[in-house]
């Protein structure tokens, strides 16, 4: 607050402070179940009018709701909507771990589960096969969409509009001599991915590294993740990837069923 008792809020610092206070309000309601304006104001040490404005903004976005005439506030169903995005990722890794372990043992290669994160691909879980003892850890690592097998699978099943947006944002950077850097080449590749049911990269992201991926679908039939196998190019050759693809697709389909997909 400034000298006359009102919040400045006109600076970026004030904006950050407002966000911090709003998050604190949500945490308070999560702990207490419900709270009135005066209780919230006291808890975050602000004037009652400031607490009222914060609660009003959160209510407008469905993050909190008011309990009838009592004037108490509680968490709203907007929180559930936000949590659903995280829950979906947790479900993918929880249900996919056993499948990754089985395939890693059967294929001898590194298995990963990945999803889109903005205009990148992020790996959520990894299991290494016996042949992949020295493989690097990909968990939490952001990788490009256009030159990874998981990225191709996820891109291939987006709407044209969404794919255009992401590719325009990310660009088509050349990572190796084999990276697809033209939009026409990429689109032709994505058509093949949809037709054959899996994607491959042959030394497109890193020299000496090959990978293949298959789509994982949610209960609504939307592609929400990619199940991939990667390994050294001398062992996981293009020919071998085609031979192993049915096992990978079968694993991705099993994970899809565990997520409620009936297709």
**pLDDT, position 211:** 96
Q: Is residue 90's pLDDT more than 50? A: yes
CATH of the domain at 46: 1.10.10.10
pTM over 0.95? The answer is no
Three-state SS string over 105-126 comes to HHHCCEEEEEEEECCEEEEEEE
**pLDDT, position 220:** 85
* Spatial distance between the Cα atoms of 262 and 92, rounded to a whole number of angstroms: 16
Note whether 72 and 196 are same-domain residues: no
What's the number of domains the chain is made of? Answer: 2
Q: What is the pLDDT of residues 194-226, one digit of tens each?
A: 999 999 999 999 999 999 999 999 888 999 999
In a domain, 3, yes or no: no
In a domain, 4, yes or no: no
DSSP assignment, residue 206?
A: S
Note whether 143 and 199 are same-domain residues: yes
Q: What is the pLDDT of residues 154-164, one digit of tens each?
A: 999 999 999 99
Note whether 47 and 105 are same-domain residues: no
CATH of the domain at 113: 3.30.450.40
Q: Which domain holds residue 72?
A: 12-76
**pLDDT, position 83:** 63
In a domain, 21, yes or no: yes
Note whether 65 and 96 are same-domain residues: no
**pLDDT, position 259:** 84
* Spatial distance between the Cα atoms of 249 and 162, rounded to a whole number of angstroms: 25
Note whether 135 and 71 are same-domain residues: no
**Residues near 235 by Cβ (< 8 Å), separated by ≥ 6?**
109, 131
In a domain, 1, yes or no: no
The residues that bridge with 223 in the sheet, in sequence order, are: 217
Q: Which of 214, 231, 234 is nearest to 223 (CA)?
A: 214
Q: Is residue 174's pLDDT more than 60? A: yes
In a domain, 7, yes or no: no
Note whether 125 and 204 are same-domain residues: yes
Alpha helices (H) along 108-230: 149-156, 160-170, 183-196
Q: Which two tokens stand for residue 27?
A: 């945490």
Best mean pLDDT range from 41-45, 115-119, 146-150: 146-150
Q: Which of 40, 55, 76 is the last residue of a domain?
A: 76
Q: Which two tokens stand for residue 206?
A: 């890193």
Note whether 211 and 154 are same-domain residues: yes
Best mean pLDDT range from 78-92, 110-124, 126-140: 110-124
Q: Which of 34, 51, 76 is the last residue of a domain?
A: 76
């Amino acid at each position: 607050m400034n000298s006359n008792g009102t919040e400045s809020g006109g600076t970026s610092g004030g904006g950050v402070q407002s966000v911090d206070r709003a998050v604190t309000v949500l945490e308070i309601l999560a702990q207490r179940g419900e709270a009135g304006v005066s209780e919230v104001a006291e808890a975050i040490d602000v004037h009652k009018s400031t607490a009222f404005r914060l609660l009003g903004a959160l209510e407008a976005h469905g993050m909190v709701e008011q309990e009838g005439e009592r004037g108490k506030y509680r968490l709203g169903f907007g929180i559930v909507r936000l949590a659903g995005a995280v829950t979906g990722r947790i479900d993918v890794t929880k249900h996919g771990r056993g499948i990754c372990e089985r395939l890693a043992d059967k294929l001898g290669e590194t298995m990963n589960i990945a999803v889109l994160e903005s205009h990148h691909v992020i790996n959520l879980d990894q299991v290494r096969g016996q042949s992949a003892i020295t493989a690097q850890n990909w968990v939490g690592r952001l990788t490009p969409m256009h030159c990874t097998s998981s990225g191709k699978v996820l891109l291939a099943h987006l709407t044209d509009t969404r794919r255009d947006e992401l590719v325009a944002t990310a660009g088509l950077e050349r990572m190796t001599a084999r990276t697809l850097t033209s939009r026409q080449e990429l689109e032709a590749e994505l058509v093949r991915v949809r037709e054959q049911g899996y994607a491959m990269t042959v030394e497109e992201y890193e020299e000496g590294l090959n990978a293949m991926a298959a789509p994982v679908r949610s209960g609504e039939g939307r592609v929400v993740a990619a199940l991939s196998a990667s390994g050294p190019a001398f062992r996981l050759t293009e020919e071998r990837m085609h031979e192993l693809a049915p096992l990978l697709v079968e694993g991705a389909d099993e994970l899809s069923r565990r997520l409620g997909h009936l297709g």
